[in-house]
Amino acid sequence: MQKKIFLNLNILFFLLWSLQSKAQHFLPKWESGGGLSGFIYQGDLTPQHIGSWPSLKTGIHLWISKPINSLLAFRLSGAYGNLRGDEAIYANPEYRGSRAFRFTAKVWEITPQIVLNFHLNSGLIKSKSFYLHAGAGLAKLNIRRDYSRFNLSHFGSGSEITQGLQADLQQKLPSVRLIIPSGMGIRYQLSPRLSSYAEINYRILFTDYLDGFSQSANPNRDDHYYTITAGLIFSFGKNPLTDCPKTR
């Protein structure tokens, strides 16, 4: 399975490189971007596989990028936002209303990333690009868990959930975590110096305590979050350049 995935990634990289070599594109020296983000929690306190959209919170995304060629760029990305989860908003399963765990968290993150660009047409103005990005970085977390609505009489003092809650309260909540961001986006070039973009960015955290609960919820699955961002990109450099070899 791993060999098949590796082979597919190599094929994708080769196809992208081949397509880039056939077109000329505006290649700035530097780019910077920023936008508004929606932060969506995905973990034990929501039954929805796509995350807790009813608890969506807002944030900002800022970055600076160094294009290497029309295919590859290095990006230093930073983000700040809020996360929230409240399982009492879900009617099913019924126990969620009695357990009623909730949390809030502030998130600061910084992540170096690699960006692969796929240009959908070769025009210098108003061109569309699809891109993939991935990297690794650090997230600073300020987590506040809330179990004040927990109905002890419903579960009983000897239940697995109650004992799990006692174990969770002995657990120190994470404050700084290694994160692995990855995602995709699309940009639309408005002029040689200005573009708009929209992207989705998923974070792997390697912890089940993003929401403050594990043993009393689902200790077999880690928590994650992702963002959806829309914003603007500014391109800098004295002259529009191309990275294609000249033909004779």
Tens-digit pLDDT profile for residues 8-55? 545 554 454 444 444 445 688 999 999 999 999 999 999 999 999 999
Assigned token pair, 240: 């529009």
Assigned token pair, 32: 């910077």
Residues 33 and 235: beta-carbon distance below 8 Å: no
Stated as kind and residue range, the H or E segment containing 199 is strand 194-204
Task: Give the pLDDT of residue 237.
Answer: 84
User: Which residue ranges form the domains of the chain, and what is each CATH number?
Assistant: 2-236 (2.40.160.20)
Task: Give the pLDDT of residue 208.
Answer: 97
Q: Is the confidence at residue 158, as pLDDT, over 70? A: yes
Confidence of residue 207 (pLDDT cuts 50, 70, 90): very high
Task: Give the pLDDT of residue 23.
Answer: 42
Q: What is the mean predicted confidence (pLDDT) over 154-169?
A: 95
Q: What is the mean predicted confidence (pLDDT) over 182-199?
A: 94
Q: Is the confidence at residue 245, as pLDDT, over 90? A: no
Q: Is the confidence at residue 95, as pLDDT, over 50? A: yes
CA distances from 234 to 64, 104, 128, 191 (A): 9, 33, 15, 10
Q: How many CA atoms lie within 13 A of 68 on its CB side?
A: 10
61-83 per-position pLDDT tens digit: 999 999 998 899 999 999 999 99
- Single pTM value for the model: 0.83
For residue 60, give the nearest of 115, 106, 103 by alpha carbon.
Answer: 106
Give the C-alpha separation, 192 to 26, whole Å: 7
